[in-house]
Amino acid sequence: MDGMIERRTLLATGAAALVVPLAPASAQQAPPPVITAAAANSPNGGVGQVTAFLRIAPDGRVTFASPVTEMGQGTHTSHAMIVADELDVPLAQVTVVAGQPEPALRLQPVNEMYSGASFGIRFWHDRIRRACAQARGALVQAAAERLGVAADTLSTAEGRVTHAASNRSVPYAELVEAASRLPLAETPRIKPAAERRVTGRAAPRMDIPAKTNGSAIYGHDIRLPNMAYAVARLSPVFGAELDGFDRASISAIRGIIDVVALKNGVAVVAENSWAAMEGAKRITIRFKPTPEQNLDSAELSRRLRAGLEGGPATRPRNDGDVDAALSGAARVVEATYEVPFLAHAPMETENATVHIQGDKVEVWASTQHQDWCARDAARVAGVPRENVVIHTPMTGGGFGRRLHTEVVEQATTVAKAINRPVKLIWTREDEFAQSYWRPAFAAKLRAAVDAEGKVTGLAIRAAGQSVMGDYRPALFAGPLRGNDPFALQSIADTRRYDFGAFRAEWHRVEAAPKVWLWRSVGGSQMCFFLESFLDEVAAATRKDPYALRRELLAKDARALRVLDTAAQRGGWQSAPPAGRHRGIAFVDLYDSLVAQVAEVSVTGNEVRVHKVSVVIDCGDVVNPDSVEAQMQGSVIWGLSSMALEGVTLKDGAAEQRNFDTYPILRIGSAPAVDVTIIRSGERTGGVGEPGVPPVAPAVCNAIFAATGRRVRSLPLASQGLNV
Amino acid sequence: MIDLMVNGQARRVDADPDMPLLWALRDMLGLTGTKYGCGIAQCGACTVHVDGAPTRSCQTRIGDLAGRRITTIEGLHPEGQHPLQQAWVAAQVPQCGFCQSGQIMSAAALLAENRRPSDADIDAAMAGNICRCGTYPRIRAAIHDAAAKA
Ligand code: FES
Ligand code: FES
């Protein structure tokens, strides 16, 4: 024990209160979390076993086990802010650690601990507040009993309960034991916005100092006694299995320990990373043939385009009679767009460290999905699921990539084979080849316009692979019955624009490459299609692109405010500086609304994005500085992908294997980003992803304004345009 | 055995002279602040100083470093309070942070020879460092801030 007093009842109940009402009965009846504080104060901060949700130590320090991974969005700091605010303790007294998968930390209804869908605040904010409000209520009640006064004569601040009338106060730490025996209020009093003193104001992130001096420990940095280093060599063709390898081909490399066969490759194990990496690079290896080993980008594009013309489709939206609107239209505007596969390319490549001791397994993984890590490690090691401990160190970028846990399966395979703790890392080359990409997509859009230039109907047919089909195949084939909510995300699942009649349909394309959630998921391509197309409609009807969007959003005051603010910040109504042109775009994603105005100049084939004005309405705001950082990062992410990025296929495999062929935007091309946050007080929305989708259409619309050239395929580089 | 001078200390590693400095630092000397991002001198995550010059440690053989002074992020300042480290915290630069050791080492080399870098100077000196999280606006602001205070 580390001297920290366990407050089992309070904490267990507080944690249980985090179980979401949507939970299936089995999840709600799950036993309360077991509190084992033993390894809570591990020196690596994030690398520590913690199964408690919220603990108050004798010195008043509060430790909160976060249900999400800190991937650089500052979510752990935001969680600390919510705790400090609702519990009335100083922010500096709150420590946030990465939690273990356990009932209270799981997202419902899937009942898994993972970080995705911009859920860090939008899902957890209210739940953390409620648990803290319950804890505060119990502390106040305990103080009332101790001081012999009524609870409603007490106030809380700075980690103390105070009775002003008698000038007495008690620190929380002295009340925890008594409070832990009290029942928790079912409907605790949660602070209204006006009483919040910590959230809503910029606070410095807790993880930043360690990220400036080399002391932050990421998955790549885990070092255990007697640990071996392994580097994978995987098939570049999706689905191709290992056929064989020649161990002798690398026997000359000093420090090689073993070569372990994996499903789709090998792991070369050595006494240091470099020997393992050299071995992985040089080993003679053969893969089995697959049916799609000749797939190339031209064939994939043919499948996408064919899917626009016919074949089965799901149709999540069919409002009014689009066909009648189109056939009766004074004019029909039509355009077809296409976008490529995109890689996540987080700076830290996939990795996991696994230590098997008897029937216990410890895993260190920079992961977004702790439950799947535990599942995979348990299965491979052949131990019960509850014998696996998951440590989540700092994570060098997630972006959806780390919802995938294949590397844990591989590392466990190696650890079992060599009977030593092992750290397995992927090379950048395998990271690109096996990234599980953002799917390539095509879409055809048609708009019906009447004689007055008013849009009376809009139809979109999109074709692409199914993210949900690869991410959660059972859910996709079962309850979803082949509908993929990601396929038409941000246009079929929102009702902001009023097009009159509206139809949205998606044809599933099949291909061997795996596709996955990539920052903003379906919004990344759908917003490009729709917002570029609206610009085409504006041009065809000789309307100002901003004015057209105002018309279509006329009934939606919240959306109009976001759009208008962006137009204002971006100077839409005034002439741009000489040689510059503007484009505008809007998205509704994960409960947040974002509009952007891009200011661009084009000289020959050189495109320069000078400035992007971003406006976000994410409802409530916890740490405005983190919101700003996410908007800046989202703009650069979106610009990088639309300008430079794309995975092309040849012989069934990615042609891009490193940053020389898959360039990422560099500092010299990064625009100024002006961020405005609208605090509408609406339901809390996501922040990590909604800033991404509008970038591509805003920039392309500005290029059109500058040149009259409409970009319908990305990236810009593939169209001869350099950023 | 290879003798290296790292962060002012003489260190000896038992490794092949072909081993890139990156892996000697990380695996043999436990200095994990220097990161692997690409292994081909494209991302800058592995940037250290060799005799003060920004150097991609993934492409630098330890066998070539006899008598050279190597500085890593851990040795940039004894308390981690180099003006750039302070500016990085003040501007809240890092997101995931994985690229930031390399960013700071590149920026430190720039400031060492150019006390008032222009935007163009920053673009040139920092062009080899990718940030996938898109912290470039804050990196630029932090470098200007550190330069102004120096
Ligand atoms: S790891 Fe050396 S430049 Fe990328
Ligand atoms: S902060 Fe994540 S890569 Fe730069």
CATH number, residue B20: 3.10.20.30
Residues B42 and B107 both lie in one domain: no
Task: Tell me, yes or no, whether B9 and B63 share the same domain.
Answer: yes
Q: Which of A360, A355, A334 is nearest to A422 (CA)?
A: A355
Which residues are bridge partners to A261 per DSSP? A266
Ligand nearest to the CA of A348: 2
CB-CB neighbours of A351 under 10 Å: 29
- Closest C-alpha among B31, B64, B117 to residue A214: B31
Inside any domain, residue A443: yes
Question: Do A312 and A459 share a domain, yes or no?
Answer: yes
Chain B CB within 8 Å of residue A277 CB? yes
Q: In A415-509, which ranges are E strands?
A: 422-425, 441-449, 455-464, 501-508
Cα–Cα dist B105/A719, whole Å = 36
Number of Cβ within 10 Å of residue A428's Cβ equals: 22
Residues in chain A: 723
Q: Does A44 touch chain B (CB under 8 A)?
A: no
Please report the sign of the dihedral spanned by the C-alpha atoms of residue A234, residue A238, residue A243, residue A249: negative
State how far the Cα of A689 lies from the Cα of A625, in Å rounded to an integer.
16
B97 lines ligand 2 (CB under 6 A): yes
> CA of B38: how far to CAs of A88, A429, B42, in Å?
45, 8, 6
Cα A138 from Cα A122, distance rounded (Å): 26
Of residues A221, A629, A637, nearest to B92 (C-beta): A629
CB contact (8 A) between residue B32 and residue A394: no
CA of B55 to the centre of ligand 1 (A): 10
Half-sphere exposure of A239 (CA within 13 A, CB side): 14
Ligand nearest to the CA of A220: 1
CA-based nearest distance A420→chain B, Å = 17
Whether A3 is covered by a domain: the verdict is no
Q: Are residues A244 and A130 in the same domain?
A: no
- In-domain check, residue A10: no
Same domain for B7 and B63, yes or no, is yes
* 8 Å CB contact of A658 and B88: no
> Are residue A386 and residue A478 in the same domain, yes or no?
no
Q: Which of residues 79-98 of B touch A (CB under 8 A)?
A: 80, 85, 88-89, 92-98
Question: Residue A108 domain-assigned?
Answer: yes
Q: Do A312 and A356 fall into the same domain? A: no
> What is the sign of the dihedral through the CA atoms of A381, A384, A385 and A386?
negative
Interface residue B29 vs chain A (CB under 8 A): no
Q: Are residues B30 and B56 in the same domain?
A: yes
Q: What is the pLDDT of residue A416?
A: 98
Sheet strands (E) in chain B: 2-6, 9-13, 47-50, 53-56, 69-71
Residues A602 and A582 in one domain: yes
CA distance B61 to A569: 51
Is A319 in the same domain as A377? no
Residue nearest to atom 4 of ligand 2 (CA): B131
User: How far apart are alpha carbons B40 and A556 in whole angstroms?
Assistant: 51
What's the structural domain count of chain B?
2
Same domain, A514 and A547: yes
Residues of chain B contacting residue A221, judged by C-beta atoms under 8 Å apart: 26, 32
The nearest CA of chain A is from the CA of B114 a distance in Å of: 18
Q: Is residue A630 part of a domain?
A: yes
Ligand nearest to the CA of A637: 2
> Rounded to the nearest 5 degrees, what angle is found at the Cα of A137, between the Cα atoms of A132 and A143?
125
If asked whether residues A310 and A268 sit together in one domain, one would say no
ipTM of the complex: 0.99
- Residue A1 CB burial class (10 angstroms; 0-12, 13-18, ≥19): exposed
- Chain A residue numbers with beta carbons less than 8 Å from the beta carbon of B16 are 254-255, 274-275
Residues B72 and B95 in one domain: no
Residues A267 and A314 in one domain: no
Verify that A458 and A571 share a domain, yes or no: yes
To the nearest whole Å, the CA of B60 is away from the closest chain A CA by 13
Q: How far apart are CA A95 and CA A48, in angstroms?
A: 12
How far apart are alpha carbons A636 and B134 in whole angstroms? Answer: 5
Q: How far does the CA of residue B9 sit from the closest CA of chain A (Å)? A: 18
Rounded to an integer, the average pLDDT of B95-123 is 98
Helices B100-113, B136-149: axis angle to 10 degrees equals 40
Contact (Cβ atoms closer than 8 angstroms) between residue A373 and residue A352? yes
Kindly report the CATH number assigned to the domain that includes residue B91: 1.10.150.120
Chain B interface disruption, residue of A218, A274, A641, most B CBs within 10 A? A274
Distance CA A374, CA B109 (A): 43
The domain boundary residue, chosen from B31, B47, B76: B76
Pocket of ligand 2 contains residue B130 by CB under 6 Å: no
Question: Do both B68 and B88 map to the same domain?
Answer: no
Q: Which residue of A has its CA nearest to B21?
A: A274
Give the tokens for residue B137.
Answer: 């606006």
Q: Which atom of ligand 2 is nearest to the CA of B93?
A: 1
Domain match, B70 and B6 both: yes
Indicate the helix (H) or strand (E) that contains B101: helix B100-113
With an 8 Å Cβ cutoff, are B45 and A347 in contact? yes
Of B37, B74, B95, the CB nearest to A72: B95
Which ranges of A48-191 does DSSP label H, i.e. alpha helix? 75-87, 119-122, 124-147, 176-179
Tell me the backbone φ, ψ of residue A573, rounded to 5 degrees: -85, -5
Q: For residues A213 and A256, what is the distance between their CA atoms, to the nearest angstrom?
A: 32
Number of structural domains in chain A? 3
Whether residue B89 and residue A208 make contact (CB cut-off 8 A), yes or no, is yes
CB of B5 within 8 Å of a chain A CB? The answer is: no
Pocket test for ligand 1, best of B38, B48, B126 (most atoms within 8 A of CB): B38
Q: Give yes or no for a cis peptide into A109 (omega within 30° of 0).
A: yes
Binary contact (B98, A396; C-beta < 8 A): yes
**Among B17, B42, B76, which residue terminates a domain?**
B76
Does any CB of chain B come closer than 8 Å to the CB of residue A666? yes
What is the per-residue pLDDT across B14-27, written as a single tens digit (0 to 9) for each?
999 999 999 999 99
> Nearest C-alpha of chain A: how many angstroms from B84?
9
User: Could you say which of A71, A398, A673 has the minimum Cβ distance to residue B137?
Assistant: A673
Q: What residues pair up with B123 in beta bridges, in sequence order?
A: none
Same domain, B88 and B49: no
Of B37, B19, B21, the residue nearest A350 (C-alpha): B37
Q: Does any ligand 1 atom lie closer than 6 A to the CB of residue B41?
A: yes
Query: B61 — contact with chain A (CB < 8 Å)?
Result: no
CA distance A608 to A482: 42
pLDDT of residue A34: 24
Contact B95 A349 (CB under 8 A): no
List, as ranges, residues 485-544 from A with C-beta within 8 Å of B: none
End-to-end Cα separation, chain A, in angstroms: 57
Q: Can you give the C-alpha Rg of chain A in angstroms?
A: 27
- Residue A569 is predicted with a pLDDT of 98
The answer to whether the Cβ–Cβ distance between B133 and A428 falls below 8 Å is: no
Q: How would DSSP label each residue in A664-720?
A: ---GGGPPEEEEEEE----S----SSTTSTTHHHHHHHHHHHHHSPPP-BS-GGGGT
- Among residues B34, B60, B76, the one where a domain terminates is B76
User: In terms of domains, do B10 and B56 share one?
Assistant: yes
Q: Quick check: B44 contacting A, CB < 8 Å?
A: no
Instruction: Give the alpha-carbon dihedral of A367, A372, A376, A379, to 10 degrees.
Output: 150
Ligand 2 site-directed mutation target among B93, B95, B104, most atoms within 8 Å of CB = B95
Assess B147–A contact: CB distance below 8 Å, yes or no: no
Cα of A346 from ligand 2 centre, angstroms? 8
Give the domain range for residue B72: 2-76
β-pair type (A441-449, A581-589): unpaired
**CA gap A85, A103 in Å, rounded:** 24
Instruction: Tell me the H-state helices in A283-425.
Output: 297-309, 322-327, 370-381, 406-418
Answer yes or no: is A687 within a domain: yes
Place of tokens 């807790």: A206
> In angstroms, rounded to a whole number, what is the distance separating the alpha carbons of residues A662 and A241?
25
- Single out the residue in A192, A211, A230 at which a domain terminates: A211
Q: Which neighbouring-strand residues pair with A507?
A: A463
Please answer whether residues B62 and B21 qualify as being in contact, where contact means their C-beta atoms are separated by less than 8 angstroms: yes
Question: Cα–Cα distance between A456 and B119 in angstroms, integer?
Answer: 49
According to DSSP, residue A91 is labeled: G
Q: What is the pTM of this model?
A: 0.93
Distance CA A143, CA A133 (A): 15
Do A186 and A278 have their domain in common? no
Structure tokens at B54: 């920004």
Please name the amino acid found at residue A142: A
Nearest to A158 by CA among A15, A41, A62, A55: A62
Q: Provide, as residue numbers in chain B, all residues whose Cβ is less than 8 Å from the Cβ of A640.
A: 134
Q: How far is the CA of B96 from the centre of ligand 2 (A)?
A: 5
Give the type of residue at A625: D
Please list every residue in chain B whose beta carbon sits closer than 8 Å to the beta carbon of residue A72: 94-97, 133
**Between chains, do A397 and B93 touch, taking CB under 8 Å as contact?**
no
- Nearest by CB to residue A633, choosing from B22, B28, B135, is B135
Candidates B130, B37, B131; CA nearest to A629 is B131
Of A208, A223, A347, the CB nearest to B98: A347
Ligand 1 centroid, distance to A89 Cα (angstroms): 43
| Intervals of chain A under pLDDT 50 | 1-52
CA triple A164-A165-A171, angle to 5 deg: 35
Q: Are residues B8 and B72 in the same domain?
A: yes
Work out whether the CA dihedral A139, A141, A146, A149 comes out positive or negative: positive
B54 with B71, same domain: the answer is: yes
Supply the CATH number for residue A372's domain: 3.30.365.10
Pairing of strands A653-654, B9-13: unpaired
Question: A166, A194, A211 — which closes off a domain?
Answer: A211
Q: What is the pLDDT of residues B34-65, one digit of tens each?
A: 999 999 999 999 999 999 999 999 999 999 99
Q: Are residues B41 and B99 in the same domain?
A: no
Full domain range(s) for residue A582: 297-341+437-719
Å between A723 CA and nearest CA of chain B: 14
H-state helical runs in A553-618? 557-569
Q: For A217-237, what is each residue's pLDDT tens digit? A: 999 999 999 999 999 999 999
In 3D, which of A707, A534, A521 has the Cα closest to residue A607?
A: A707
3-state secondary structure of A289: coil
In terms of domains, do A174 and A82 share one?
yes
